Amino acid sequence: MTVPVLSPQEAGPLGLALLRHLDDQLRSADRMLDLVLKQARAIRMRDVESVLALVGQIQAETESRGRLEADRTALLTKAGQCLGVHGSAITIDAFCSLLDPATAREARERSDRLRGVLREVRDEHLVSRALMRQELAFVDHLVRLMGGPDDGSNGTYAPPAGAVRPAASAPQTYSMLNVRA
CATH of 8-149, one of 1.20.950, 1.10.1660, 1.10.357, 1.20.58: 1.20.58
Query: How large a percentage of the chain has pLDDT more than 90?
Result: 53
At 46, the pLDDT band (50, 70, 90 cuts) reads confident
Give the list of residues 6+ apart from residue 3 with CB closer than 8 angstroms, or none.
Answer: 83, 97, 98
CA distance 6 to 98: 6
Q: What is the pTM of this model?
A: 0.69
Q: How far apart are CA 143 and CA 124, in angstroms?
A: 28
Domain boundaries, the chain: 8-149
**pLDDT tens track for 2-41:** 444 455 555 578 899 999 999 999 999 999 999 999 999 9
Rounded Cα distance, 99 and 35, in Å: 34
Question: Could you give the 3-state DSSP secondary structure of residue 56?
Answer: helix
In Å, how far are 20, 44, 54, 82, 128 from 124, measured between CA atoms? 26, 13, 14, 38, 6
